[in-house]
Amino acid sequence: MIKLLSSAIKVKDIRNKILFTLGVLIVFRLGTHLTVPGINAKAVSNISDSGIFGLLNTFGGGALSQYSIFAMGVSPYITSSIVVQLLQMDIVPKFVEWSKQGEVGRKKLNQVTRYLTIIMAFVQSIGISYGFNALSGFGLVKNPGTMTYLSIALMLTAGTMLVMWMGEQITVKGFGNGVSMIIFSGIVARVPDGIMSYYNTQIKNAGSELWKAILFTVALVVAILAVVLLVVFFETAKRKIKIQYSKRATGSDQSSFLPLKVNSAGVIPVIFASSFIVTPQTIMGFFAKTHADDQWYIIMNNIFNYQKPAGAVLYTLLIVLFTFFYAFIQVNPEKVSENLQKQGGYIPSVRPGKGTEDYISGVLMRLSTVGAVYLGLIAILPIIAQNLWNLPQSIGLGGTSLLIVVGVALESTRQLEGQMIKRNYLGFIQ
């Protein structure tokens, strides 16, 4: 990795992309420290770093703990993307039509996603401001009132749209997927705080049982390294399906492979599930002041809080469902079968057309089953460990954060390798 990076920096165009990405991420990090006017940022310390607060704060790189203009991060955009993709599954005919129009249709769907992001960001901004003001002991918003909440919501919505625009700029002009890189930078920025929190709660006050705390820390580090290796293994694992091409298509019999990843969906299901569980909690924020002690509110809060048993189960199920959903979006068996027919390719012992589509769907279903179980376990085990050993709240999101960080790092490395190989080919041709 170090050798690859050092080689890439020597190439001007790749170096410019990396520097552009770093510049945008620095701007994002600076923005996380600009507190929204009318907010008492010190009151945020009264809110428990769990549930929706911990989720948004981790993905926003600590922006919510400062209640900055970027406090919402890209969460509304991700939620909007989920909704638009779900509506393309024979729910809204116009969206289905656009999804088949190639680049033109994709631009229309992206425009709808942006408009929906504005609505989602505005609603979520009001919800978290109203709800967190109640949780902080009514000290978060300095002058609570309709106009105050609306102005705060407008600023947070503008911050979200700016973050979304920065992510798009990274995707087009920089390096890697913009939204993923922003989430990646936010999680990495929270690592020092997580280490200090662990030190203060587990080691600093250990006293005579310091040796036990040190042994536990060593075991925890080993477990984290083992999980990282497991994540790398599953993220790079592939099933190669042999493809044979006829003489008529190539002039001679040739064969190649169709690689299907065990986890074709990548880290997207984890991000989707996290954002999906945030939305109900945002809506519940409107009722926190008047219904916090009601039975229905307590039940709903347990269901949509990933640190509660019911919430953890729902969170895991969402990850599993989104794994299957996004895997079939990433690898569309119908389009793969159609493209093979056009290119004169076929899978040995499998009939072209519908037979090939069914075969690829079956393989993808089995692979996604393994991938879904793997993603679910990685996400849920840290939450269980946190509750068993009374670890800091940030540990509960450790599995989710680790999946995103490792997944984005691997994807970025693959993209960097691809650009280097492409450059070498171009140099050879010239």
Instruction: Write down the domain spans for the chain.
Output: 16-205
CATH topology of domain 16-205: Preprotein translocase SecY subunit (1.10.3370)
239: β partners: 260
* Number of Cβ atoms within 10 Å of the Cβ of 77: 26
User: CB within 8 A of 193, min separation 6: which ones?
Assistant: 62, 394
pLDDT score at 251: 53
Instruction: Determine what percent of the chain falls in helix, strand and coil, rounding each to the nearest 5.
Output: 75, 5, 20
Predicted pLDDT at 333: 87
- Tell me if 58 sits within 8 A of 401, measured CB to CB: yes
pLDDT for residue 428? 45
Q: Which of 48, 49, 52 is nearest to 280 (CA)?
A: 52
CA 269 – CA 228 distance, rounded (Å): 18
Q: How far is it, in rounded angstroms, from Cα 340 to Cα 342? A: 5
Residue bearing tokens 């044979």: 244
Instruction: Evaluate whether 279 touches 79 at the Cβ level (below 8 Å).
Output: yes
User: Half-sphere exposure of 21 toward its Cβ, with a 13 Å CA cutoff?
Assistant: 22
Phi, psi of 261 (to 5 degrees): -75, 150
pLDDT of residue 398: 67
Prediction pTM value: 0.79
What averages of pLDDT result for each successive group of 10 residues across the chain (430 residues)?
A: 71 85 91 87 67 71 82 85 79 81 84 91 86 71 86 93 91 85 84 77 74 82 86 87 71 73 82 77 72 82 79 85 85 85 84 87 90 86 75 64 82 80 57
Burial of 264 (0-12, 13-18, 19+ CB in 10 A): buried
Cα-to-chain-centroid distance, residue 420: 26
User: Would you say 120 and 81 are in contact if contact means Cβ atoms under 8 Å apart?
Assistant: no
Contact 69, 28 (CB under 8 A): no
Alpha-carbon span 203 to 196, nearest angstrom: 10
* Residue 295 CA to its chain's centroid (Å): 32
